[in-house]
Amino acid sequence: MANYLLAALVPILWGSTYAAVSLFLHDLSPFWVAVWRALPAGLLLLLLKPGRPPLPWSKMTLLSVFNIAAFFPLLFIAAYRLPGSVAGTLGATLPLQLMLMQWLVEGKRPQLKMLLLALVGFSGIVMILNPSADIDPIGAAAALAATALVARASLWLKDWPVTDIFRLTAWQLTLGGLLLVPLAFIVEGAPKPITTHELPGLIWVSLLNSSFAYWAFSRSIKKIGADSMAMISMLNPVVAVTLGIFLVGEVLGPYQWLGIAMVMMSLVLMVYSKQRTQRKLALKHAQ
């Protein structure tokens, strides 16, 4: 259960990204916010545990591009152009995209039970969505593309042998941040000076949402599997909406509360199903 609780912290932290952008970072370029989120976090982790990457450079670069250098700009474009509940809802297609990608890439048909739970959870997320929100097509495309990158990277991480998750996180963030610097200069020019108002938001998204959350994300894929981690990611929009209520003054109706209940039910059933399967396998091996 401890592994699932740690995994749940990841979408909880990532769900706070939209509130951090709205409250602190709305005047900054999304590309430079992506740099400030990744590079300081990676360098800090490398300072704490220096050493070579735990994967060959080719694989390390692929993970850095998909999880950081390409993902962060798309994520922040979605966060700047969409309400948090909308961006989180589109990001919660991760379980469905992951199942589709496993089917197409690995030939692994999705389990009917997990597919149904993913659909129930996503249906709940759609109910959470504020129906009055205008959906920007560029922001929506960015959110879906960012989710597809995470799905592909999750499958690589699941299959590639990695034991040092801490150093893997450090190098992902560092390489991804370095790759983002020239992109930010080309797209946005020189960065604006950071103000004292923006600093708390940058500290939050860099230290907690990146350093800690990416370590927990990678560890959780190894411990509980990519499928389970993708299901737990559906907490992301629930957190985004909840923070919208307490920090931005949004109000939820009965259908949105029902949607939250559906998401939570699908997650509880997923954890129960996984644990039951593990107990059956353990008994079978013991006989």
Residue 105: which residues within 8 A CB-CB, separation 6 or more? 155
Q: Each residue of 201-240: pLDDT tens digit?
A: 999 999 999 999 999 999 999 988 888 888 888 787 778 7
Other residues' Cβ atoms within 10 Å of the Cβ of residue 146: 25
pLDDT band at 98 (very low <50, low <70, confident <90, very high): confident
Q: What domain range is 59 assigned to?
A: 2-286
Contact 89, 128 (CB under 8 A): yes
Residue in this structure with the two tokens 């959350």, named with its chain if needed: 213
Number of separate domains in the chain: 1
Taking the complete model, does pTM exceed 0.85, yes or no? no
Name the token pair of 175.
Answer: 């390489």
Q: Each residue of 60-85: pLDDT tens digit?
A: 999 999 999 999 999 888 888 877 66
Q: Which of 19, 176, 7 is nearest to 85 (CA)?
A: 19
Residue type, 147: T
DSSP secondary structure, 88-148, as one string = HHHHTTHHHHHHHHIIIII--PPPHHHHHHHHHHHHHHHHHS-TT----HHHHHHHHHHHH
